[in-house]
Structure 1
Amino acid sequence: MIFPVTLIDLAGAIALLLWGAHMVQTGVQRAFGPRLRSILGGALRNRPWAFLAGVGVTALLQSSTATGLMTAGFAASGVVDLVPALAVMLGANVGTTLVVQLLSFNVAAASPALIFVGVLMFRRESSTQARDLGRVSIGLGLMLLALRQLLELMTVYEDAPSLRMLLGAVSTEPVVDVLLAAGLTWAAHSSVAVVLLVMSLAARGVVPPDAAFALVLGANLGASVNPVIEGPAGADPAARRLPLGNLLTRLLGVSLALAALHPIGRFMVTIEPDNARAVADFHTLFNLVVASAFFPFLTPYAAVLRRLLPQRIDPTDPSQPLYLDPSAKETPIVALGAAAREALRLSDVLQEMLLGASEALVKGDRKLIAQTRRRDTVIDRLDTAIKAYLTSLDPEELSAIDHRRLNEVLTFAANMEQAGDVVVRNLLPHIAKHLKRGSAFADPERAELKAMMDRLGGNLRMAASLFMTEDPRAARLLADEKIAFRETESKATMRHFETLRAGRLEDARTSALHLDLLRDIKLVNGHVVASSAYPVLERSGELLPSRRTAN
């Protein structure tokens, strides 16, 4: 068989292996994602539990990157300390070896059964979780099928001079092997798949044991590169402590193992004559040794990382996203959580705009109007960034619950942005007109405007809280607030008409402006209510169609 066809066959088998690993990971995320995140967050209290949680969660997800993203989110928000977060990553690195250990045994015969059962669960079960578990079963079956195909290909082509020449060239230098496997792991985003590929090559003697071990070291190194390279540009350096700390532990471990590769190789071959099993055992042993070496020194190691990457003190551009990590897109539950945290920043900026508008009205300071107007640019840019981030997620990777949450985040962000537009285009111009005229509101009118602005600020805080809790009781309370704003507007309208009938033209101009301001406040409140109360009420069947458009 000609050499190009050999490469195509290998590429197809490797692609099937990668796709199987991808299906297992996404299936587990869909079925148990929120529970795994809760377990991981609860375990981040001390180092031993954090380490065990990292092992278990990663063994299920088959991705230390996914575990690292969840942990990085906790660490970046200050919920957990850096020390237990580093312990999680040590456990995650060990957890990736468990699947490799399982698949290193002769379990290829189970492939058809796993695929058959998985298809039945996916096609016939109405339960969402059962369908996700069916996806996991199909993925495992495809991985076993790919491994069997790789072994068969190696049997057919192991004596092909062209393949021997290519693999022989890259097997002579361990450093080249490390760099090659690291690059492949970075591109594939799966150290499990790369190590399984190395096992297949070693099982047929296509690569010698020392070269196979060097490739395994490269796969371990490549798995820690992704979070560092793909982290958000311009983020607080403190957010990079965890991924960089994980990379440095791997880099030091790989360097020491590479220096002692020959004696380690002889030892591994002596205790395990089966080359495939020797590769799996070396992979596990390497990560256990690195974890054991660093675990007692995590506290001083964390202190070094804090000095290397101090928290940014200088104020950043408020319009720049803080939580939209591009590398989190591979883990939908993490990406949605990041987008929700970013969306809450919109409510904070809108709160500042309302406070600025209220103070400008009370103090008569036109500079406050200009400052408040500039904050609308912050809302617009953050809203655009959130929408671009969420719409770039692969819909196929999202469960029904994920799709619902994505729509809720988009709804919240859109209403915050529209409320900001009302403040800039309606409320602030009316305040500026009031200040330009130099007219004075009567004491009852001034008190009413202040009371409604204060009430609007309270509703905005309630909406932000409801966006996270999704409590139907709070949703009903927030929705009922529209009644109070509508009644206030109706009373102000009646007073304005009475002033017109009395022929008090100067008072009528002031009352008209007062009415315009109340209507603007009511319109902002309508967007605040729609941002978080309506999605919760609609889901519970309590939202009337007429209320979706009523202001």
Structure 2
Amino acid sequence: MEYGFYDILQLIGALGLFLFGMKVMSDALLKLAGNKMRSILAKMTSNRFLGIFTGFLITSIIQSSSATTLMVVSFSNAGLLTLVESISVIMGANIGTTITAWLITILGFKVSMSAIALPLIGFGFAFTFLKKEQYHNWGNFIIGFALLFIGLQFLKEAMPDLKNNPEMLSFLSQYTDLGYLSILLFLFIGTVLTVVIQSSSATMALTLIMTAQGWIPFELAAAMVLGENVGTTITANLAAIIANYQAKRTARAHLVFNLIGVLWVLILFYPFLRFISWFTTYLGSDSPYANAAAIPVAISLFHTMFNIFNTFLLVWFIHPIAKLVERYIPVKLLPEKEIDEPKFLNKVELKYPETAIATLVKESKYLYKNAIFEIVSHALNIHREDIKSDLKLKKVIKKSNILFETDIRELYATKVKHIYGEIISYATKAQSALDLNEDQNNQITEIKIANRKMVEIIRDVKELSRNITLYLNSDNKYIQKEYDKLRKKVAKVLRVIHLFRTEKDNLKYHQTLLKLGEEAKESFHKGNLDMDKLIREDLITVDMASSLVNDSDNVNDMIKKFIEIAELLYGKKDPLFNNGNDPS
């Protein structure tokens, strides 16, 4: 019996069905548990062991180390995970992916799932008719689960039988008796297969079937498993090509981690395999060297033990691995864009709610820090560095008597208008395209509100700036003094917000902001009394008084908006944004 072209097509088709089942199952699980899993990923990485457990838990549940790794890369790109946290999660994902191998070994080789696979598809299909999305996802999970094992059964049947094709065994024998060279060759084959198929689970299934059919011995199957661990890192590295340096570092760390593991196992290859053989017989199975039927269990055990040992060996070297990767991929600052272009918004981050929200927060904070703060400071005729300094505000106001050339309209058009529009557009897309829970939807709405208030402040400060320019040039010392008071009020709020967003222990500055907000509300009556006195005593003109009343109201309104912006952008203590990567 010859193995012809049609048989090869059947083998490819069976592999395709297996992969499709794996994808349907994984996607359904991701939808069922995605929000919760991403929340866990963002919050449970405070130390390396929690990170490992998180990676293991997520991968075990969604049954895809690639999905977990891509999630980690996306979170790194958005600045939600540090490099050290990302490495620990990937370590856990490597252990979690071994669950799939056991699933295939136990249910695909020890138990015949093909008998119940079709009834399972019918059962799952019935769920897809239900209106509730959760039931629909459960139906897809059941269908994917059944298709996976139907594909596995077809794979076993499509794989050529060496008893009827002895010439294949003679062909393979040329490459199985080369000692360590054979080990390296099959390691390479495992790597290439995983890169081509883009699924370590599918390559593992092929490896298990090849051992069960007697194609390759235990040690060469183990070498292929090592190759699969290298090949699976390619997915993350491909995803990181269009990402920033943080995501590239995470992907390279995954590669380095797996390469180091493969290297030490290759050095201890035969002693390690003897240990696996002993452990397999200790658990009650036959030795993989004596019985080919025992190889699938031994290979699954090898896969699990390799990843567990590698993780707990290298967990103590996470920081050196991080430093190595940081040295290989240095910090790459984002290229200088035109002043009116967004710095952080990109389509990559629109994949998950958490990364979209983090990106919107970063872009909004950047807009405040690099445009709103500058424009308002210049409109007040004060240098930003003086506001951020420890110099007393009375001296800051006194020294800032040289008028700036400030065109608020032009600054708004070049520094704010386009970015504001992009932020609102990005936020609207996130709300319409992503599956947001109520809290996430509220967060995005609050970000939109904060940005709208920033634009309103620019409108408010425009008239104030004109009168500051007019009256600081006036010979009337009383109107000069009143406008200096207004400038000082706004400068004080700007300084407290600067401290609130930059100091770690910022509770006292938050309290100060709230106090300044109350003072702004109460100052309306006191301000009117002061102005009445100035008018009665003919110390200022009626026009001056009119401008002063309007500008005083404007300043109080601006202060209220500034405090609301600070609350919305910097007052949230969500663990998603408290990892040191926030561009405050």
Q: TM-score range by the shorter chain?
A: 0.5 to 0.7
Q: Which consecutive unaligned segments of at least 5 residues does structure 1 have?
A: 126-130, 536-551
Once the two structures are superposed, residues 298-338 of structure 1 have per-residue CA deviations (whole angstroms, 9 ceiling, x without a partner) of 44434434444455699977988776686655443344334
> Whose RCO is larger (CA < 8 A, sep 6+)?
2
Show the counterpart of 1:250.
Answer: 258
Count of aligned pairs between the two proteins: 503
Indicate if the aligned counterparts of 1:147 and 1:196 stay in contact, CA closer than 8 A.
no
Indicate if the aligned counterparts of 1:351 and 1:460 stay in contact, CA closer than 8 A.
no
Distance 1:494 1:147 in 2: 80
The alpha carbon displacement at 1:411 in A equals: 1.6
Indicate if the aligned counterparts of 2:353 and 2:440 stay in contact, CA closer than 8 A.
no
Distance 1:92 1:460 in 2: 40
Show the counterpart of 1:418.
Answer: 455
2:366 is equivalent to residue 345 of structure 1: yes
Distance 1:158 1:511 in 2: 92
TM-score calculated relative to the size of structure 1: 0.66
2:229 is equivalent to residue 220 of structure 1: yes
Counting helix residues as a fraction of each chain, which structure ranks higher? 1
Q: CA RMSD in A?
A: 5.8
2:39 is equivalent to residue 34 of structure 1: yes
Indicate if the aligned counterparts of 2:17 and 2:151 stay in contact, CA closer than 8 A.
no
Show the counterpart of 2:406.
Answer: 369
Cα gap change, 1:442 to 1:364, in 2 (>3 Å): closer
**2:303 counterpart (279, 283, 286):** 283
Once the two structures are superposed, residues 330-354 of structure 1 have per-residue CA deviations (whole angstroms, 9 ceiling, x without a partner) of 4433443343344333443434543
Show the counterpart of 2:387.
Answer: none
Show the counterpart of 2:56.
Answer: 55
Cα gap change, 1:327 to 1:521, in 2 (>3 Å): same
Cα gap change, 1:32 to 1:302, in 2 (>3 Å): closer
Distance 1:110 1:386 in 2: 48
Residue identity matched to 2:150: Q
Once the two structures are superposed, residues 363-396 of structure 1 have per-residue CA deviations (whole angstroms, 9 ceiling, x without a partner) of 2444473699758855556546655655665967
Distance 2:142 2:335 in 1: 51
Q: Secondary structure at the match of 1:273?
A: helix
**2:191 counterpart (178, 184, 190):** 178
2:152 is equivalent to residue 151 of structure 1: yes
Q: Secondary structure at the match of 1:398?
A: coil
Structure-to-structure mapping, 1:110-121, within 5 angstroms? none
Residue identity matched to 2:45: G
Structure-to-structure mapping, 1:411-450, within 5 angstroms? 411-412=448-449, 414-415=451-452, 417-419=454-456, 421-422=458-459, 425-434=462-471, 441-450=479-488
2:354 is equivalent to residue 333 of structure 1: yes
Residue identity matched to 1:454: K
Once the two structures are superposed, residues 207-240 of structure 1 have per-residue CA deviations (whole angstroms, 9 ceiling, x without a partner) of 86788767655553344344444448684x5665
Cα gap change, 1:110 to 1:354, in 2 (>3 Å): farther
Distance 1:116 1:434 in 2: 80
Indicate if the aligned counterparts of 1:319 and 1:377 stay in contact, CA closer than 8 A.
yes
The alpha carbon displacement at 1:178 in A equals: 1.8
Indicate if the aligned counterparts of 1:198 and 1:216 stay in contact, CA closer than 8 A.
no
Distance 1:497 1:344 in 2: 40
The alpha carbon displacement at 1:75 in A equals: 11
Indicate if the aligned counterparts of 1:50 and 1:87 stay in contact, CA closer than 8 A.
yes
Indicate if the aligned counterparts of 1:343 and 1:386 stay in contact, CA closer than 8 A.
yes
Show the counterpart of 1:354.
Answer: 376
The alpha carbon displacement at 1:404 in A equals: 1.4
Distance 2:295 2:471 in 1: 84
Structure-to-structure mapping, 1:350-499, within 5 angstroms? 350-360=372-382, 362=397, 363-367=400-404, 369=406, 377=414, 379=416, 383=420, 386=423, 390=427, 398-401=435-438, 403-405=440-442, 407-408=444-445, 410-412=447-449, 414-415=451-452, 417-419=454-456, 421-422=458-459, 425-434=462-471, 441-452=479-490, 454-455=492-493, 481=517
Show the counterpart of 1:540.
Answer: none
Indicate if the aligned counterparts of 1:104 and 1:276 stay in contact, CA closer than 8 A.
yes
Distance 1:9 1:81 in 2: 39
The alpha carbon displacement at 1:141 in A equals: 1.9
Once the two structures are superposed, residues 511-530 of structure 1 have per-residue CA deviations (whole angstroms, 9 ceiling, x without a partner) of 34434434543554565577
Indicate if the aligned counterparts of 2:68 and 2:93 stay in contact, CA closer than 8 A.
yes
The alpha carbon displacement at 1:247 in A equals: 1.6
TM-score calculated relative to the size of structure 2: 0.63
The alpha carbon displacement at 1:18 in A equals: 0.7
Distance 2:431 2:64 in 1: 18
The alpha carbon displacement at 1:33 in A equals: 3.9
Cα gap change, 1:115 to 1:375, in 2 (>3 Å): farther
**1:21 counterpart (22, 26, 38):** 26
Structure-to-structure mapping, 1:187-202, within 5 angstroms? 191-192=200-201, 194-195=202-203, 198=206, 202=210
The alpha carbon displacement at 1:402 in A equals: 5.9
Indicate if the aligned counterparts of 1:51 and 1:90 stay in contact, CA closer than 8 A.
yes
Q: Secondary structure at the match of 1:41?
A: coil
Distance 2:197 2:57 in 1: 25
Once the two structures are superposed, residues 138-180 of structure 1 have per-residue CA deviations (whole angstroms, 9 ceiling, x without a partner) of 45423321212213433564469xxx9xxx99x9974355234
Residue identity matched to 1:41: T
Structure-to-structure mapping, 1:264-343, within 5 angstroms? 269-270=288-289, 273=293, 277=297, 280-310=300-330, 329-343=350-364
Which deviates more, 355-364 or 453-462? 453-462
Distance 2:317 2:334 in 1: 31
Distance 1:207 1:365 in 2: 86
Distance 2:80 2:353 in 1: 21
Distance 1:414 1:122 in 2: 42
Residue identity matched to 1:507: T
Indicate if the aligned counterparts of 2:18 and 2:149 stay in contact, CA closer than 8 A.
no
Indicate if the aligned counterparts of 1:37 and 1:70 stay in contact, CA closer than 8 A.
no
The alpha carbon displacement at 1:24 in A equals: 0.8
Distance 1:524 1:215 in 2: 66
Indicate if the aligned counterparts of 2:353 and 2:435 stay in contact, CA closer than 8 A.
yes
Indicate if the aligned counterparts of 1:357 and 1:368 stay in contact, CA closer than 8 A.
no
Residue identity matched to 1:179: V
Cα gap change, 1:300 to 1:177, in 2 (>3 Å): closer
Q: Secondary structure at the match of 2:380?
A: helix
Residue identity matched to 1:418: V
Cα gap change, 1:142 to 1:364, in 2 (>3 Å): farther
**1:507 counterpart (538, 541, 550):** 541
The alpha carbon displacement at 1:21 in A equals: 0.4
Once the two structures are superposed, residues 420-440 of structure 1 have per-residue CA deviations (whole angstroms, 9 ceiling, x without a partner) of 642675544554455577776
Show the counterpart of 2:574.
Answer: none
Cα gap change, 1:53 to 1:255, in 2 (>3 Å): same
Q: Which consecutive unaligned segments of at least 5 residues does structure 2 have?
A: 166-170, 176-184, 278-287, 384-396, 570-584
Distance 1:380 1:443 in 2: 33
Indicate if the aligned counterparts of 2:56 and 2:95 stay in contact, CA closer than 8 A.
yes
